[in-house]
Structure 1
Amino acid sequence: MSTSEYLGKTVILKTNMGDITLGFYPEDAPKAVENFIKLAEKGYYNGVTFHRVIKDFMIQGGDPTGTGAGGESIFGGAFEDELNPETASYKTGYQKGVLAMANSGPNTNGSQFFIILKNNPLNNLYTIFGRVEKGQEVVDQIGLVAVDSNDRPLEDVVIEAVIIR
């Protein structure tokens, strides 16, 4: 894996609510970037929903089961967090538009990710590996959908296709 192979790459998430263009930090989080892009290349995220939406906090997707309990990585299991205090993304933190790995505890990264809706003082527990470059208004719209008591959207918000550039 070479971080330079992912420099300048973008991914367009084509959702049923509009397009979201993501850019990446391969030097800050090489494994997370490689994992996301390779899963996208395989079509892994096609048809997957944003299964968790918390107003004024984040939208979460990447679980093909849609439950928040599923997902996998390209590494054959969960992979470790990439939390280096020296990187620019770590220092900047969880600002609006940040793309980070969702997890269920330390070193449990798989395919799930989240996008921050508003600047948030989260503890540094989630690998930041990219940001929204275009389509933040779509992210904001998704962040306003009606949800049930488990933060699941009442109407599916679907990643219909992923385009890698």
Structure 2
Amino acid sequence: MCASDYYKGCIFHRNIKGFIVQTGDPTGKVNNAGTGKNGQSIWKKRFKDEFHDSLRHNARGIMSMANNGPDSNGSQFFITYSKQTMLDMKYSIFGK
């Protein structure tokens, strides 16, 4: 993610103390960039969730795709501040 300029200058538009911090909206209009209202995947469309039984939101620093419901992933993602098991099997984990 850091190797490309896609997320360069992208702000963290949501910060919920003790829960998550969210970013990943680089494609908004100039006055709307980084607000969380936009964002697009590298495929230019939403993509399906991917879950694995061994991947859980069981610690601080888990990185997952933000979405608006099943199979609606775009470019936005969040990082957990702490264990958040209620997010398991709802948000695709891709890093720590």
Normalised-by-shorter TM-score class: 0.7 to 0.9
| Aligned pair partner of 1:112 in 76, 80, 84 | 76
SS at match of 2:12: strand
Shift of 1:42: 3.5
Q: Describe the superposition over 1:12-59 as per-residue Cα deviations: whole angstroms up to 9, x where unpaired.
A: xxxxxxxxxxxxxxxxxxxxxxxxx3xx44411100000000000010
Counterparts in 2 of 1:14-33, with a 5 A limit? none
User: Which structure has more helix as a fraction of its residues?
Assistant: 1
Instruction: Report sequence identity in percent.
Output: 44
Under a length normalisation based on structure 1, what TM-score does the superposition of the two structures give?
0.50
Gaps of 5+ in 2: 27-32
Higher relative contact order structure (alpha carbons within 8 Å, sequence separation ≥ 6): 1
Gaps of 5+ in 1: 1-36, 132-165
Superposed CA RMSD in Å reads 1.3
Aligned residue in 2 for 1:43 = 5
Moved over 4 A (4+): none
Counterparts in 2 of 1:1-165, with a 5 A limit? 37=1, 40-64=2-26, 65-85=33-53, 88-89=54-55, 93-94=56-57, 95-123=59-87, 124-131=89-96
Number of residue pairs the alignment of both structures matches: 88
User: Which structure has more strand as a fraction of its residues?
Assistant: 1
Which protein is bigger by CA-based radius of gyration?
Answer: 1
Under a length normalisation based on structure 2, what TM-score does the superposition of the two structures give?
0.83
